[in-house]
Homo-oligomer: A and B are copies of this chain.
Amino acid sequence: MRIILCGFGVVGQSLVKLFNSRSEDLYAKYGLKPRVIGVFDSKGSAVDKAGLELDKLIEVKKKFGTVKNYANTKNNMSGVDMIKNLEADVLIETTASNYKDAEPGMTHIISAMKKRMHVISVNKGPLALAFPSLMELATYNQVIFKFSGTVGGGTPILDYAKNSLRGERITSFSGILNGTTNYILTNMAKGLTFETALKDAKDKGYVEADESLDLDGLDAAAKLVILANWVMDMKVTMPDINCKGIRNVTTDDIKKATKNNCAIKLIASCNKELIVEPKEVSVDDPLCVNGTLNAIAFTSEHSGTQTIIGKGAGGMETASSILRDLLDIRQEIVKS
């Protein structure tokens, strides 16, 4: 299966390592032979129609900070050129999410779909801003569009809601969808001020380069958009979310919550309205998880409330979700 990989950060590199370490097993067990024919990062690209050497790719990236130096050629293709000129089966989009125009991911995805490539995105931007129209575009071009890694990292939340609960009707859900703010709020509950907790989270590398994505709830809101579309068949985008971040949570709020046997969590909820806001959650509620954990509780018509808890991020975790999507695409292709 010929793959173009957009972005070669932590997730992209983890994915390549995963392909490398599991190549025999993936072929034997699933018949999957991933062949990465093109990769690009912000500084340049590497192309080999016969398949890039995965070890070398990692090594070059480590040494030079870019894949550009993979070969000694001068014709360094841009990402869009690569998508337009290479024949590939699947595009994997792992560039950074942004919620202004979702570029460059949006252009990558649209170009790939128009060229009849299947698309896997762990970039939330394009989905947050244009979920309904991207799904339409995928249907129109008869390609498969997967995005398991956008919500819950390696924890298959989207799949659980859609497949494991088939036949069931989910009536509402709410969750802690951003690990960074959960980490900050957990430390505030331990007595740290917002500023100190934020600094600690930054030191640990948990905070996005643009801290607003975490602190103002945009990351959680993007995931809520994706869940609402995928699980509840709503046709919504970012502007439909009523979103409030954690900047105004005070030490007093935290103390008050503790007194009520509660903790303040940034909760994304879908119950008629779509809301992201700090809320008191009982510490006895399975949803009330600490640290960087994510949790989501689905309330269903017949089988009660079910909570799934897991790491919501991480390179290898997210890479494992891309692998899942790839196996699904392979299975679909084989069928047809």
Contact = CB atoms under 8 A, between A and B. Distances in A.
A303 B308 CA distance: 13
Given A166-B327, A302-B154, A320-B168, A310 B307 contact: yes
Contacts of A302: 18, 154, 316-317, 319-320, 323
Interface residues of A, number: 42
Number of copies: 2
A324 B168 contact: yes
Interface in A137-182: 153-156, 159-160, 163-168
A317 B289 contact: no
A2 to B, nearest CB: 19
A305 B317 CA distance: 10
Interface string A281-308: 0001010011001010000101111111
Given A167-B320, A168-B323, A286-B293, 17 more contacts: A154-B302, A155-B306, A156-B160, A159-B164, A163-B163, A165-B324, A167-B324, A168-B320, A168-B324, A286-B295, A300-B320, A303-B310, A303-B320, A304-B311, A306-B308, A307-B307, A307-B310
20 contacts: A154-B168, A154-B306, A155-B306, A156-B165, A160-B164, A163-B164, A165-B324, A167-B323, A168-B320, A168-B323, A284-B290, A286-B286, A286-B289, A286-B293, A300-B320, A302-B320, A302-B323, A303-B320, A307-B309, A307-B310
**What are the 5 closest A-B residue pairs judged by CB atoms, nearest first?**
A154-B303, A302-B320, A306-B310, A156-B164, A307-B309
